[in-house]
Structure 1
Amino acid sequence: MTDGPSTSPDRTAAPVDRTRPRRARRRLLVGGTAVLVLAVLLPVAWVQATGHARVRGSVAEAAQTPVDAIVVLGAGLRPDGTPSTYLRRRLAAAAELYAAGAADRVVLSGDGADRADGTPYDEPGSMADWIVGLGVPGDALVLDREGFDTTATCRRAHDEYAVRTAVVVTQDYHLRRALFSCARAGLDATGVGVSATSVTPVQAAWWRVRELPASWRAAAREAW
Protein backbone atom coordinates (compact mmCIF):
# COMPACT_ATOMS: atom_id res chain seq x y z
CA MET A 1 0.00 0.00 0.00
CA THR A 2 1.24 3.49 -0.88
CA ASP A 3 0.43 6.86 0.60
CA GLY A 4 -1.17 9.69 -1.42
CA PRO A 5 -3.93 9.85 -4.01
CA SER A 6 -4.52 7.00 -6.38
CA THR A 7 -3.36 7.49 -9.97
CA SER A 8 -5.71 4.88 -11.40
CA PRO A 9 -8.23 6.20 -14.01
CA ASP A 10 -11.74 7.19 -12.90
CA ARG A 11 -13.86 4.58 -14.60
CA THR A 12 -17.11 6.26 -13.46
CA ALA A 13 -16.65 9.40 -15.68
CA ALA A 14 -19.25 9.86 -18.44
CA PRO A 15 -18.08 8.91 -21.94
CA VAL A 16 -17.39 11.75 -24.36
CA ASP A 17 -20.27 12.28 -26.84
CA ARG A 18 -18.40 12.61 -30.10
CA THR A 19 -21.64 12.95 -32.10
CA ARG A 20 -22.64 16.24 -30.44
CA PRO A 21 -20.56 18.51 -32.73
CA ARG A 22 -21.98 16.73 -35.77
CA ARG A 23 -25.54 17.25 -34.52
CA ALA A 24 -24.83 20.90 -33.85
CA ARG A 25 -23.45 21.37 -37.36
CA ARG A 26 -26.48 19.60 -38.81
CA ARG A 27 -28.87 21.85 -36.90
CA LEU A 28 -26.95 24.90 -38.05
CA LEU A 29 -27.08 23.71 -41.65
CA VAL A 30 -30.81 22.98 -41.50
CA GLY A 31 -31.53 26.32 -39.83
CA GLY A 32 -29.42 28.21 -42.34
CA THR A 33 -31.12 26.47 -45.24
CA ALA A 34 -34.57 27.31 -43.84
CA VAL A 35 -33.62 30.98 -43.48
CA LEU A 36 -32.28 31.02 -47.04
CA VAL A 37 -35.44 29.42 -48.43
CA LEU A 38 -37.64 31.93 -46.59
CA ALA A 39 -35.45 34.80 -47.79
CA VAL A 40 -36.10 33.67 -51.36
CA LEU A 41 -39.74 32.59 -51.15
CA LEU A 42 -41.26 35.33 -49.00
CA PRO A 43 -40.37 38.20 -51.38
CA VAL A 44 -41.64 36.17 -54.34
CA ALA A 45 -44.88 35.42 -52.49
CA TRP A 46 -45.27 39.13 -51.66
CA VAL A 47 -44.94 40.16 -55.30
CA GLN A 48 -47.22 37.45 -56.64
CA ALA A 49 -49.92 37.91 -53.99
CA THR A 50 -49.95 41.70 -54.40
CA GLY A 51 -50.33 41.37 -58.14
CA HIS A 52 -52.89 38.58 -57.98
CA ALA A 53 -55.36 40.76 -56.10
CA ARG A 54 -55.42 43.11 -59.11
CA VAL A 55 -55.88 40.52 -61.87
CA ARG A 56 -59.12 40.64 -63.84
CA GLY A 57 -60.43 37.53 -65.51
CA SER A 58 -61.45 39.00 -68.84
CA VAL A 59 -61.45 42.10 -71.01
CA ALA A 60 -65.12 42.67 -70.16
CA GLU A 61 -64.40 42.60 -66.44
CA ALA A 62 -61.41 44.90 -66.76
CA ALA A 63 -63.41 47.40 -68.82
CA GLN A 64 -66.17 47.79 -66.25
CA THR A 65 -64.34 50.65 -64.51
CA PRO A 66 -62.92 53.29 -66.89
CA VAL A 67 -59.28 54.24 -66.30
CA ASP A 68 -56.79 56.85 -67.49
CA ALA A 69 -54.99 54.53 -69.87
CA ILE A 70 -54.48 51.03 -71.18
CA VAL A 71 -50.80 50.15 -70.80
CA VAL A 72 -49.29 47.58 -73.16
CA LEU A 73 -45.83 46.23 -72.31
CA GLY A 74 -43.48 45.38 -75.15
CA ALA A 75 -42.58 41.78 -76.02
CA GLY A 76 -40.13 42.02 -78.89
CA LEU A 77 -40.28 42.23 -82.67
CA ARG A 78 -39.91 39.70 -85.44
CA PRO A 79 -36.96 39.96 -87.85
CA ASP A 80 -39.23 41.80 -90.30
CA GLY A 81 -39.95 44.46 -87.67
CA THR A 82 -43.53 43.43 -86.91
CA PRO A 83 -44.70 42.55 -83.37
CA SER A 84 -43.91 39.11 -82.01
CA THR A 85 -46.71 36.59 -81.46
CA TYR A 86 -46.85 37.43 -77.75
CA LEU A 87 -46.96 41.14 -78.49
CA ARG A 88 -49.73 40.73 -81.08
CA ARG A 89 -51.85 39.03 -78.42
CA ARG A 90 -51.27 41.93 -76.05
CA LEU A 91 -52.19 44.45 -78.71
CA ALA A 92 -55.33 42.54 -79.63
CA ALA A 93 -56.48 42.60 -76.00
CA ALA A 94 -55.68 46.31 -75.76
CA ALA A 95 -57.74 46.97 -78.87
CA GLU A 96 -60.66 45.08 -77.29
CA LEU A 97 -60.30 47.12 -74.11
CA TYR A 98 -60.30 50.36 -76.08
CA ALA A 99 -63.38 49.31 -78.04
CA ALA A 100 -65.10 48.40 -74.75
CA GLY A 101 -64.50 51.92 -73.42
CA ALA A 102 -61.90 51.04 -70.78
CA ALA A 103 -59.85 54.17 -71.60
CA ASP A 104 -59.37 56.77 -74.31
CA ARG A 105 -55.56 56.47 -74.23
CA VAL A 106 -53.33 53.49 -74.98
CA VAL A 107 -49.72 53.66 -73.79
CA LEU A 108 -47.47 51.49 -75.96
CA SER A 109 -44.28 50.97 -74.00
CA GLY A 110 -41.14 49.22 -75.15
CA ASP A 111 -37.61 49.50 -76.49
CA GLY A 112 -37.12 52.28 -79.00
CA ALA A 113 -33.32 52.37 -79.02
CA ASP A 114 -31.48 51.50 -82.23
CA ARG A 115 -29.04 48.63 -81.94
CA ALA A 116 -25.31 49.08 -81.43
CA ASP A 117 -24.63 48.21 -85.08
CA GLY A 118 -26.97 50.98 -86.19
CA THR A 119 -29.91 48.73 -87.00
CA PRO A 120 -33.16 50.64 -86.44
CA TYR A 121 -35.35 49.24 -83.68
CA ASP A 122 -38.64 50.85 -82.71
CA GLU A 123 -40.87 48.53 -80.73
CA PRO A 124 -43.53 51.14 -79.82
CA GLY A 125 -43.64 52.35 -83.43
CA SER A 126 -44.30 48.82 -84.66
CA MET A 127 -46.89 48.33 -81.93
CA ALA A 128 -48.62 51.53 -83.06
CA ASP A 129 -48.80 50.42 -86.69
CA TRP A 130 -50.27 47.08 -85.64
CA ILE A 131 -52.90 48.34 -83.21
CA VAL A 132 -54.09 51.03 -85.65
CA GLY A 133 -54.82 48.13 -87.99
CA LEU A 134 -57.01 46.70 -85.23
CA GLY A 135 -59.17 49.81 -85.16
CA VAL A 136 -57.53 52.00 -82.50
CA PRO A 137 -57.09 55.57 -83.78
CA GLY A 138 -53.59 56.97 -83.91
CA ASP A 139 -54.49 60.03 -81.84
CA ALA A 140 -55.34 57.74 -78.89
CA LEU A 141 -51.81 56.33 -78.76
CA VAL A 142 -48.93 57.34 -76.51
CA LEU A 143 -45.57 55.89 -77.57
CA ASP A 144 -43.10 55.31 -74.75
CA ARG A 145 -39.77 54.43 -76.33
CA GLU A 146 -37.95 54.11 -73.00
CA GLY A 147 -39.96 51.28 -71.49
CA PHE A 148 -36.90 49.05 -71.34
CA ASP A 149 -38.30 46.87 -68.56
CA THR A 150 -41.47 46.42 -66.52
CA THR A 151 -40.44 48.83 -63.77
CA ALA A 152 -39.47 51.53 -66.26
CA THR A 153 -42.81 51.20 -68.05
CA CYS A 154 -44.81 51.59 -64.85
CA ARG A 155 -42.79 54.50 -63.52
CA ARG A 156 -42.81 56.38 -66.82
CA ALA A 157 -46.56 55.88 -67.23
CA HIS A 158 -47.00 57.55 -63.84
CA ASP A 159 -44.26 60.18 -63.97
CA GLU A 160 -44.06 61.10 -67.66
CA TYR A 161 -47.61 60.53 -68.90
CA ALA A 162 -49.63 61.38 -65.77
CA VAL A 163 -51.39 58.02 -65.68
CA ARG A 164 -52.94 57.36 -62.29
CA THR A 165 -55.32 54.51 -63.09
CA ALA A 166 -54.66 51.86 -65.71
CA VAL A 167 -55.38 48.45 -67.16
CA VAL A 168 -52.11 46.64 -67.87
CA VAL A 169 -51.90 44.04 -70.64
CA THR A 170 -49.23 41.34 -70.75
CA GLN A 171 -48.91 37.55 -70.76
CA ASP A 172 -50.66 35.74 -67.91
CA TYR A 173 -47.45 34.44 -66.26
CA HIS A 174 -45.95 37.96 -66.20
CA LEU A 175 -49.07 39.86 -65.16
CA ARG A 176 -48.79 39.61 -61.36
CA ARG A 177 -45.25 40.96 -61.26
CA ALA A 178 -46.18 43.74 -63.68
CA LEU A 179 -49.10 44.78 -61.48
CA PHE A 180 -46.87 44.72 -58.39
CA SER A 181 -44.35 47.01 -60.10
CA CYS A 182 -47.08 49.37 -61.27
CA ALA A 183 -48.62 49.54 -57.81
CA ARG A 184 -45.23 50.40 -56.31
CA ALA A 185 -44.83 53.11 -58.95
CA GLY A 186 -48.06 54.74 -57.78
CA LEU A 187 -50.47 53.37 -60.37
CA ASP A 188 -53.86 52.11 -59.31
CA ALA A 189 -53.74 49.36 -61.92
CA THR A 190 -55.65 46.23 -62.73
CA GLY A 191 -54.60 43.83 -65.45
CA VAL A 192 -55.61 41.36 -68.12
CA GLY A 193 -53.43 38.38 -68.90
CA VAL A 194 -53.28 37.02 -72.45
CA SER A 195 -52.23 33.58 -73.61
CA ALA A 196 -48.63 32.46 -73.21
CA THR A 197 -49.08 29.38 -75.40
CA SER A 198 -45.99 28.98 -77.56
CA VAL A 199 -44.77 26.82 -80.42
CA THR A 200 -41.59 26.39 -78.37
CA PRO A 201 -42.83 24.89 -75.07
CA VAL A 202 -39.35 24.71 -73.55
CA GLN A 203 -38.87 28.44 -74.03
CA ALA A 204 -42.34 29.15 -72.62
CA ALA A 205 -41.53 27.03 -69.56
CA TRP A 206 -38.25 28.89 -69.09
CA TRP A 207 -40.04 32.25 -69.13
CA ARG A 208 -42.30 31.03 -66.35
CA VAL A 209 -39.37 29.81 -64.29
CA ARG A 210 -37.63 33.13 -64.87
CA GLU A 211 -40.49 34.89 -63.10
CA LEU A 212 -39.22 33.57 -59.75
CA PRO A 213 -35.90 35.46 -59.75
CA ALA A 214 -37.55 38.41 -61.49
CA SER A 215 -40.17 38.60 -58.73
CA TRP A 216 -37.44 38.40 -56.09
CA ARG A 217 -35.56 41.26 -57.74
CA ALA A 218 -38.75 43.33 -57.92
CA ALA A 219 -39.28 42.88 -54.18
CA ALA A 220 -35.64 43.58 -53.39
CA ARG A 221 -35.73 46.79 -55.44
CA GLU A 222 -38.56 48.06 -53.28
CA ALA A 223 -36.98 46.93 -50.00
CA TRP A 224 -33.61 48.53 -50.74
Structure 2
Amino acid sequence: MKQWIAGRLKIWLKAAVILGILGMAAVMAVNIFMMLRVKDRIVKPGDPALSQKADCIMILGCGVKKDGSPTGMLKDRLDEGIRLYQQGVSDRLLMSGDHGRKDYDEVNRMKEYALERGVPSEAVFMDHAGFSTYESMYRARDIFQVKQIVVVTQKYHMYRALYVASAMGLEAYGVASDPRPYGGQLYRDIRELLARPKDLLYTLFKPEPAYLGEVIPVSGNGDATNDR
Protein backbone atom coordinates (compact mmCIF):
# COMPACT_ATOMS: atom_id res chain seq x y z
CA MET A 1 0.00 0.00 0.00
CA LYS A 2 2.79 2.41 0.92
CA GLN A 3 4.53 1.64 -2.36
CA TRP A 4 1.31 2.30 -4.29
CA ILE A 5 0.83 5.69 -2.52
CA ALA A 6 4.49 6.62 -3.11
CA GLY A 7 4.12 5.72 -6.78
CA ARG A 8 0.97 7.82 -7.11
CA LEU A 9 2.61 10.79 -5.40
CA LYS A 10 5.55 10.54 -7.79
CA ILE A 11 3.19 10.57 -10.78
CA TRP A 12 1.24 13.57 -9.44
CA LEU A 13 4.45 15.44 -8.69
CA LYS A 14 5.73 14.85 -12.21
CA ALA A 15 2.37 15.95 -13.63
CA ALA A 16 2.43 19.11 -11.50
CA VAL A 17 5.98 19.93 -12.64
CA ILE A 18 5.07 19.38 -16.30
CA LEU A 19 1.93 21.50 -15.99
CA GLY A 20 3.92 24.24 -14.25
CA ILE A 21 6.53 24.26 -17.01
CA LEU A 22 3.82 24.34 -19.70
CA GLY A 23 2.04 27.16 -17.86
CA MET A 24 5.23 29.24 -17.62
CA ALA A 25 5.99 28.58 -21.29
CA ALA A 26 2.48 29.75 -22.25
CA VAL A 27 2.86 32.93 -20.18
CA MET A 28 6.22 33.71 -21.77
CA ALA A 29 4.87 33.00 -25.26
CA VAL A 30 2.00 35.45 -24.74
CA ASN A 31 4.41 38.10 -23.43
CA ILE A 32 6.74 37.73 -26.40
CA PHE A 33 3.83 37.77 -28.86
CA MET A 34 2.32 40.92 -27.34
CA MET A 35 5.62 42.80 -27.17
CA LEU A 36 6.60 41.95 -30.75
CA ARG A 37 3.14 42.89 -32.02
CA VAL A 38 3.31 46.51 -30.84
CA LYS A 39 6.99 47.35 -30.31
CA ASP A 40 7.12 49.47 -33.48
CA ARG A 41 4.28 51.62 -32.16
CA ILE A 42 6.33 52.90 -29.23
CA VAL A 43 7.81 56.12 -30.59
CA LYS A 44 9.79 59.14 -29.46
CA PRO A 45 8.44 62.72 -29.35
CA GLY A 46 8.85 64.21 -32.81
CA ASP A 47 8.46 60.87 -34.60
CA PRO A 48 6.66 61.22 -37.97
CA ALA A 49 3.99 58.83 -36.67
CA LEU A 50 2.82 61.66 -34.39
CA SER A 51 2.53 64.23 -37.18
CA GLN A 52 -1.14 63.43 -37.79
CA LYS A 53 -3.03 64.98 -34.88
CA ALA A 54 -4.57 62.33 -32.64
CA ASP A 55 -8.04 62.57 -31.14
CA CYS A 56 -6.43 62.67 -27.70
CA ILE A 57 -3.39 61.94 -25.59
CA MET A 58 -4.34 59.38 -22.96
CA ILE A 59 -2.45 59.51 -19.67
CA LEU A 60 -3.00 56.37 -17.64
CA GLY A 61 -3.31 56.79 -13.88
CA CYS A 62 -1.02 54.93 -11.50
CA GLY A 63 -1.64 56.24 -8.02
CA VAL A 64 -1.79 59.35 -5.89
CA LYS A 65 -0.35 59.84 -2.42
CA LYS A 66 -2.41 60.38 0.75
CA ASP A 67 -2.08 64.14 0.34
CA GLY A 68 -3.49 63.89 -3.20
CA SER A 69 -0.21 64.60 -4.97
CA PRO A 70 0.77 62.29 -7.86
CA THR A 71 3.26 59.50 -7.29
CA GLY A 72 6.61 59.82 -9.05
CA MET A 73 5.52 57.53 -11.87
CA LEU A 74 2.27 59.40 -12.40
CA LYS A 75 4.02 62.79 -12.31
CA ASP A 76 6.37 61.64 -15.07
CA ARG A 77 3.43 60.45 -17.17
CA LEU A 78 1.66 63.77 -16.67
CA ASP A 79 4.73 65.80 -17.56
CA GLU A 80 5.26 63.80 -20.76
CA GLY A 81 1.60 64.00 -21.75
CA ILE A 82 1.49 67.75 -21.17
CA ARG A 83 4.66 68.19 -23.26
CA LEU A 84 3.05 66.28 -26.12
CA TYR A 85 -0.05 68.47 -25.81
CA GLN A 86 2.11 71.59 -25.95
CA GLN A 87 3.88 70.21 -29.03
CA GLY A 88 0.54 69.90 -30.81
CA VAL A 89 0.35 66.09 -30.94
CA SER A 90 -3.30 66.51 -29.90
CA ASP A 91 -5.44 69.31 -28.51
CA ARG A 92 -7.12 66.98 -26.00
CA LEU A 93 -5.89 65.17 -22.90
CA LEU A 94 -7.77 62.15 -21.54
CA MET A 95 -6.94 61.37 -17.91
CA SER A 96 -7.96 57.77 -17.24
CA GLY A 97 -7.72 56.37 -13.74
CA ASP A 98 -9.37 55.16 -10.58
CA HIS A 99 -12.08 57.29 -8.98
CA GLY A 100 -14.17 54.45 -7.64
CA ARG A 101 -14.36 55.82 -4.09
CA LYS A 102 -14.96 59.26 -2.62
CA ASP A 103 -11.74 59.00 -0.62
CA TYR A 104 -9.56 58.02 -3.60
CA ASP A 105 -9.42 60.13 -6.74
CA GLU A 106 -6.71 59.93 -9.38
CA VAL A 107 -8.37 61.74 -12.26
CA ASN A 108 -9.34 65.04 -10.63
CA ARG A 109 -5.80 65.38 -9.31
CA MET A 110 -4.43 64.59 -12.78
CA LYS A 111 -6.61 67.28 -14.31
CA GLU A 112 -5.66 69.79 -11.62
CA TYR A 113 -1.99 69.09 -12.34
CA ALA A 114 -2.52 69.88 -16.03
CA LEU A 115 -4.51 73.03 -15.27
CA GLU A 116 -1.74 74.26 -12.96
CA ARG A 117 0.60 74.02 -15.96
CA GLY A 118 -1.54 76.08 -18.29
CA VAL A 119 -3.71 73.50 -20.05
CA PRO A 120 -7.26 74.87 -20.41
CA SER A 121 -9.96 72.99 -18.52
CA GLU A 122 -12.08 72.35 -21.61
CA ALA A 123 -9.14 70.46 -23.19
CA VAL A 124 -8.86 67.96 -20.32
CA PHE A 125 -11.27 65.02 -20.12
CA MET A 126 -11.50 62.66 -17.15
CA ASP A 127 -12.41 58.99 -17.28
CA HIS A 128 -13.48 58.36 -13.69
CA ALA A 129 -13.91 54.61 -14.30
CA GLY A 130 -10.57 53.72 -15.87
CA PHE A 131 -10.04 50.97 -13.30
CA SER A 132 -7.81 48.88 -15.56
CA THR A 133 -5.92 49.19 -18.83
CA TYR A 134 -8.60 47.20 -20.61
CA GLU A 135 -11.44 49.31 -19.22
CA SER A 136 -9.59 52.53 -20.09
CA MET A 137 -9.28 51.52 -23.75
CA TYR A 138 -12.82 50.14 -24.00
CA ARG A 139 -14.25 53.35 -22.55
CA ALA A 140 -11.98 55.53 -24.71
CA ARG A 141 -13.58 53.91 -27.75
CA ASP A 142 -17.21 53.66 -26.61
CA ILE A 143 -17.66 56.59 -24.22
CA PHE A 144 -15.20 59.14 -25.55
CA GLN A 145 -15.52 58.13 -29.22
CA VAL A 146 -11.75 57.97 -29.72
CA LYS A 147 -10.33 56.53 -32.94
CA GLN A 148 -6.73 57.78 -32.98
CA ILE A 149 -4.87 57.89 -29.68
CA VAL A 150 -1.41 58.53 -28.23
CA VAL A 151 -0.85 56.69 -24.97
CA VAL A 152 1.52 57.84 -22.23
CA THR A 153 2.77 55.40 -19.61
CA GLN A 154 6.06 53.75 -18.62
CA LYS A 155 7.57 51.40 -21.20
CA TYR A 156 7.10 48.19 -19.18
CA HIS A 157 3.33 48.86 -19.25
CA MET A 158 3.19 50.34 -22.74
CA TYR A 159 3.23 47.03 -24.62
CA ARG A 160 0.02 45.86 -22.96
CA ALA A 161 -1.65 49.27 -23.25
CA LEU A 162 -0.96 49.49 -26.97
CA TYR A 163 -1.95 45.88 -27.60
CA VAL A 164 -5.29 46.36 -25.86
CA ALA A 165 -5.88 49.67 -27.66
CA SER A 166 -5.19 48.08 -31.05
CA ALA A 167 -7.37 45.07 -30.21
CA MET A 168 -10.22 47.48 -29.41
CA GLY A 169 -9.88 48.99 -32.89
CA LEU A 170 -7.96 52.14 -31.97
CA GLU A 171 -5.15 53.55 -34.08
CA ALA A 172 -2.65 53.79 -31.23
CA TYR A 173 0.90 54.96 -30.68
CA GLY A 174 2.70 55.28 -27.39
CA VAL A 175 5.31 57.62 -25.94
CA ALA A 176 7.05 56.05 -22.96
CA SER A 177 7.74 58.11 -19.87
CA ASP A 178 10.84 56.72 -18.15
CA PRO A 179 13.09 59.66 -17.17
CA ARG A 180 14.38 57.84 -14.07
CA PRO A 181 14.42 54.44 -12.35
CA TYR A 182 11.57 53.57 -9.97
CA GLY A 183 11.65 51.58 -6.77
CA GLY A 184 9.79 48.27 -6.79
CA GLN A 185 10.21 47.78 -10.54
CA LEU A 186 10.94 44.05 -10.22
CA TYR A 187 7.53 43.52 -8.61
CA ARG A 188 5.84 45.51 -11.38
CA ASP A 189 7.69 43.56 -14.08
CA ILE A 190 6.55 40.23 -12.60
CA ARG A 191 3.00 41.51 -12.25
CA GLU A 192 3.07 42.64 -15.87
CA LEU A 193 4.13 39.17 -17.04
CA LEU A 194 0.86 37.84 -15.63
CA ALA A 195 -1.29 40.82 -16.64
CA ARG A 196 -0.53 40.43 -20.35
CA PRO A 197 -2.12 36.96 -20.70
CA LYS A 198 -5.11 38.20 -18.69
CA ASP A 199 -5.67 41.15 -21.04
CA LEU A 200 -5.12 38.96 -24.09
CA LEU A 201 -8.13 36.94 -22.92
CA TYR A 202 -10.12 40.13 -22.30
CA THR A 203 -9.45 41.32 -25.85
CA LEU A 204 -10.59 37.95 -27.22
CA PHE A 205 -13.90 37.84 -25.33
CA LYS A 206 -14.40 41.62 -24.88
CA PRO A 207 -16.49 41.74 -21.68
CA GLU A 208 -18.08 45.10 -20.89
CA PRO A 209 -16.28 47.22 -18.30
CA ALA A 210 -17.75 47.78 -14.83
CA TYR A 211 -19.30 51.08 -16.00
CA LEU A 212 -20.19 52.54 -19.37
CA GLY A 213 -22.67 55.43 -19.29
CA GLU A 214 -23.48 58.31 -21.61
CA VAL A 215 -21.31 59.17 -24.58
CA ILE A 216 -18.99 62.16 -24.06
CA PRO A 217 -17.09 62.73 -27.34
CA VAL A 218 -13.50 63.81 -26.78
CA SER A 219 -14.02 66.33 -29.58
CA GLY A 220 -16.31 68.32 -27.25
CA ASN A 221 -15.70 70.11 -23.95
CA GLY A 222 -13.73 68.39 -21.22
CA ASP A 223 -15.72 70.17 -18.53
CA ALA A 224 -18.53 67.74 -19.29
CA THR A 225 -16.54 65.21 -17.27
CA ASN A 226 -16.15 67.47 -14.22
CA ASP A 227 -17.79 66.22 -11.04
CA ARG A 228 -17.05 69.10 -8.73
TM-score over 0.5 for the pair = yes
Residues 125-204 of structure 1: pairs in structure 2 closer than 5 A: 125-195=108-178, 197-198=180-181, 200=183, 203-204=184-185
- Aligned amino acid, residue 83 of structure 2: E
- Tell me the alpha carbon deviations over residues 29-50 of structure 1, each in whole angstroms, 9 at most, x when there is no partner: 7976764444222222221122
Could you tell me whether the CA contact under 8 Å between 2:97 and 2:127 is conserved in 1? yes
In terms of mean alpha carbon deviation, does 132-141 or 145-154 score higher? Answer: 132-141
Could you tell me whether the CA contact under 8 Å between 2:168 and 2:203 is conserved in 1? no
Could you tell me whether the CA contact under 8 Å between 2:164 and 2:203 is conserved in 1? no
Aligned residues: 192
2:32 paired with 1:45: yes
> Per the alignment, in what secondary structure is the counterpart of residue 46 of structure 2?
helix
Larger Cα-atom Rg: 1
Structure 2 Cα separation of the partners of residues 32 and 147 of structure 1: 35
Match of 2:69 in 1: 82
Match of 1:92 in 2: 79
> Among the aligned pairs, what percent are the same residue?
31
Structure 2 Cα separation of the partners of residues 76 and 37 of structure 1: 29
Instruction: Supply the RMSD in Å over aligned alpha carbons.
Output: 2.2
- Tell me the alpha carbon deviations over residues 41-85 of structure 1, each in whole angstroms, 9 at most, x when there is no partner: 2222221122212110x2222632211110010010011011111
Could you tell me whether the CA contact under 8 Å between 1:171 and 1:196 is conserved in 2? no
Which consecutive residues of structure 2, in runs of 5 or more, have no partner in the other structure? 1-10, 206-228
- Aligned amino acid, residue 27 of structure 2: V
Match of 1:220 in 2: 201
Structure 1 Cα separation of the partners of residues 179 and 156 of structure 2: 7
Q: TM-score, length-normalised on structure 2?
A: 0.77
Residues 56-67 of structure 1: pairs in structure 2 closer than 5 A: 56=43, 58-61=44-47, 63-67=50-54
Structure 2 Cα separation of the partners of residues 197 and 209 of structure 1: 19
> Per the alignment, in what secondary structure is the counterpart of residue 128 of structure 1?
helix
1:34/1:113 CA distance change after superposition, 3 Å: closer
Which consecutive residues of structure 1, in runs of 5 or more, have no partner in the other structure? 1-24
1:129/1:31 CA distance change after superposition, 3 Å: closer
2:95 paired with 1:102: no
